[in-house]
Every structure is written in structure tokens, then in C-alpha cells.
């Protein structure tokens, strides 16, 4: 199995000259045999016609038992190289020679080498495989492309092609884009209604407890309050005060009027890359992060849920929504990711006046940098 360069693309299956020569010979011999009545030339003409028909039938037959699979990693990161595996199986009883697969990638998929793949001999009931490195340049659930199988008869007179459906889809995660932004917000301390009437008690783990509550599935067994459990007959655990650090809410503006772009890339893709970087950085530094992409409800993001959050960013699309004027006060402090086209400039400016950081996608000449 080999790869062909673009300069060699027309040297493998190019039967035009040979086919033209045979066709010219058939016409010439048939005319001479009719005019001069030479039987030998008539037999030669008949043999050439039979050769022509046999070559065409063989070329059509050669692709029938061939099955092609395109295998890819189910999850990749945009911009990173990943291999596509082309697996060709010969289910027939005779070997096949010089089978070509021409890969046509969809928009957003870039091949590192020529997408023309050549398989040498494919023995009967065996599988051969070759690899083509590609890069996915945009996040989302992306198709791979289309493939055409090409073959020819042993005389090199005809080539045949067959389109192969490639149902393979790849989930492309956004590549985090480094940005210098710091988490903003006051210390988020819980306000327990019972706290003023409760005495704080230190425990060995360094956390504080302010009461007890019934046991729930998943609670650590070391938090069971054995005295209350024995007194009441049911399992009770310590009610602990969580250790909370300074954090913020990250708002991603995905209104359709805020973004421009095409099938290759959009401004929303750039904001998603920034959001992926910020959330990951803040989590690694121990901050609390709430992610809000209206109209969906805000979600709490943790290290354990990072993969699910990253997948959510990969599939995030534009959606219309309305933003109330007092959203900043309701959500606490945070960061807003938006563009210069956003229809919510007034609400975002009001949020900036109360401590929010509004980050707009840098623009130059009407395009995102």
C-alpha cells in the first residue's frame, strides 16, 4: 500500500490512450475488411471487439467483492493530527490488484498528504489497511468525508468507480485558547438559616459542621453521627460547611445576532475556545465556576465533570434568548464573553458597572483576530 503524490495522480489508472488505440484499430480493421473483403482482418476486428467487451465486464466485476471501512478515533481535539484508517476487504475468490481509494474530505477536514490511496495486491478473503493523517479544524460532531473506489481491467482499457458511504462521525472538542483573565467575585459563603442558632464544631478532616441530617446514598460513612443514629434508630450524618473559594460565573453570549462566520469557522467557535481555557484554568486553581450559556440554566462545573462540560462546549450552537436588565445582580460577579455585534451592549455595560468583566472578541478589519 502506497501513497501517490499529486504529480503522479494520473499515472495509475489512465486508460484513455490505450482505449483510444484499441477503438481506432477496431474502426480501421473493420473498414479495411469491408472494403477489401479480407477475412483475417475481420477476425482481428472481431477479436478486438471481444477484448473490448471482456475488459469492460472485468472492470465492472473487479469492484463487486471489495468492501471499504473508514475508521477514526471517536473523539479528537480540533487542530490535532489524528489518523484515518482505510480498511479494504476482498470478499471474492480471486485477488485484486491496484485498487485506488480517493478520499474527499468535507469542509473543515485537512489532509496532511495526498488523499489518493493506492492498495497493491488484495488477496482473497483478506484485509489490507493504510493510514491517512488528517486534522479537524472545527469543533462539533463532524462527518469525515466521502470515498470513491477505483479499479481497472488487466488490459488497462477501462476504469470503474464506486462511491462508498462513510457514516463515521467524530466528536471534535474545542482547542482551549489561552487568554489572560482572572476569576472575579466575592467569597461565596453559604447562608444557612439555622446557622445563627448552631454552635460550630471542628472535626478531624479540617472542615466545620453545624448540625446533622438524614443519611443519603453516597454520603461518606466516616460522616455518620453514631450517637444521633443510635438515639433515633435511623442513619444520620454530620451537616458540613463546604470549603468554598473565590469564584465567578462565566457567561457565554451565543445569540445568533452576536456572531458571524461560515462552514469553516464562526466567532462563536472562538468564544468557545476561550471559555474552555478559562474554565479549565480556574478549576485547576481551585476556583468555583458557574457556566451560563443562555437560554439554558447555569451549571456548576467541577473537575469530575470537566469532560462532560467540554463535550457540551463542543456541541454548543447559537440560540436566541432575552437577557433581563438585572441579570448581573441575580448571578453574582463574573465574566461575560461576547462580540462587538452583540445586541445586549446595554445590559453588559450595566453589568460592568457592578464589577463584571466584559470581554469582547478582538476585531480587526471586521474579522476576528
The span from the CA of 237 to the CA of 300, in Å, is 24
The span from the CA of 252 to the CA of 298, in Å, is 11
Domain count, the chain: 4
- 183-193 burial, b at 16+ Cβ within 10 Å, e below that, comes to bbbeeeeeeee
pTM: 0.69
One digit per residue, pLDDT tens: the chain, 369 residues?
433 333 334 445 455 556 667 777 777 777 777 777 777 777 888 888 888 788 888 878 888 889 999 999 999 999 999 999 999 999 988 888 878 889 999 888 999 888 888 888 889 999 999 999 999 999 999 999 999 988 877 777 777 888 888 888 999 999 998 877 655 443 333 333 333 333 333 333 444 455 677 887 777 787 788 888 888 888 888 765 444 355 678 999 999 999 998 877 899 999 999 999 989 888 887 777 889 999 998 888 888 788 899 999 999 999 999 988 778 777 767 889 999 999 999 999 888 887 788 888 875 433 444
Residues 36 and 129 in one domain: no
Residue 368 falls inside a structural domain: no
The span from the CA of 275 to the CA of 254, in Å, is 12
Residue 107 falls inside a structural domain: yes
Tens of pLDDT, residue by residue over 217-264, are: 777 787 788 888 888 888 888 765 444 355 678 999 999 999 998 877
Maximum alpha-carbon separation in the chain: 122
Residues 160 and 233 in one domain: no
Query: By residue range, what is the domain housing residue 115?
Result: 63-173
Residues 249 and 354 in one domain: yes
Residue where the block lists cell 473543515: 108
Residues 92 and 163 in one domain: yes
Q: Residue 147 in contact with residue 102, Cβ under 8 Å?
A: yes
Residues 57 and 67 in one domain: no
Grid cell for residue 24: 481506432
Residues 75 and 54 in one domain: no
Residues 187 and 315 in one domain: yes
Residues 272 and 332 in one domain: yes
Residues 235 and 249 in one domain: no
CA dihedral 356, 362, 363, 367 (to 10 degrees): -120
- What's the confidence (pLDDT) of residue 169? 93
Grid cell for residue 58: 472485468
Residue 336's φ and ψ, nearest 5 degrees, are -115, 125
Amino acid at each position: 500500500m502506497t501513497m501517490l503524490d499529486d504529480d503522479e495522480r494520473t499515472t495509475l489508472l489512465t486508460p484513455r490512450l490505450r482505449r483510444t488505440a484499441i477503438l481506432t484499430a477496431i474502426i480501421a480493421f473493420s473498414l479495411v475488411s469491408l472494403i477489401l473483403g479480407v477475412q483475417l482482418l475481420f477476425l482481428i476486428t472481431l477479436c478486438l471487439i471481444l477484448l473490448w467487451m471482456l475488459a469492460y465486464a472485468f472492470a465492472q466485476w473487479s469492484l463487486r467483492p471489495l468492501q471499504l471501512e473508514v475508521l477514526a478515533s471517536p473523539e479528537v481535539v480540533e487542530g490535532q493530527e489524528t489518523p484515518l484508517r482505510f480498511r479494504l476487504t476482498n470478499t471474492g475468490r480471486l485477488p485484486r490488484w491496484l485498487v485506488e481509494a480517493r478520499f474527499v474530505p468535507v469542509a473543515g477536514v485537512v489532509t496532511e498528504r495526498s488523499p489518493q490511496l493506492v492498495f497493491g495486491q488484495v488477496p482473497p478473503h483478506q484485509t489490507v489497511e493504510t493510514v491517512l493523517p488528517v486534522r479537524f479544524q472545527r469543533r462539533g460532531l463532524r462527518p469525515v468525508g466521502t470515498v470513491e473506489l477505483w479499479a481497472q481491467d488487466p488490459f488497462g482499457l477501462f476504469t470503474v468507480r464506486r462511491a462508498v458511504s462513510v457514516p463515521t462521525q467524530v466528536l471534535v472538542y474545542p482547542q482551549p485558547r489561552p487568554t489572560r483573565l482572572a476569576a472575579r467575585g466575592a467569597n461565596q459563603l453559604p447562608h444557612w438559616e439555622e446557622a445563627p442558632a448552631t454552635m460550630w464544631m471542628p472535626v478531624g478532616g479540617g472542615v466545620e459542621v453545624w448540625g446533622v441530617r438524614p443519611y443519603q446514598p453516597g454520603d461518606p460513612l466516616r460522616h455518620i453521627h453514631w450517637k444521633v443514629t443510635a438515639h433515633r434508630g435511623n442513619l444520620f450524618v454530620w451537616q458540613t460547611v463546604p470549603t468554598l473559594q473565590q469564584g465567578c460565573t462565566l457567561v457565554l453570549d451565543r445569540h445568533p445576532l452576536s456572531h458571524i462566520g461560515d462552514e469553516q469557522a464562526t466567532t462563536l467557535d472562538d468564544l468557545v475556545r476561550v471559555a474552555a481555557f478559562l474554565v479549565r484554568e480556574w478549576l485547576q486553581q481551585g476556583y468555583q465556576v458557574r457556566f451560563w450559556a443562555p437560554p439554558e440554566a447555569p451549571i456548576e462545573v467541577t473537575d469530575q465533570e470537566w469532560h462532560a462540560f467540554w463535550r457540551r462546549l463542543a456541541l454548543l450552537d447559537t440560540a436566541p434568548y432575552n437577557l433581563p436588565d438585572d441579570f448581573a445582580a441575580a448571578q453574582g460577579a463574573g465574566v461575560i464573553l461576547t462580540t462587538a455585534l452583540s445586541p445586549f451592549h446595554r445590559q453588559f455595560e450595566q453589568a460592568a458597572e457592578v464589577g463584571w468583566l466584559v470581554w469582547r472578541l478582538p476585531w480587526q478589519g471586521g474579522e476576528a483576530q
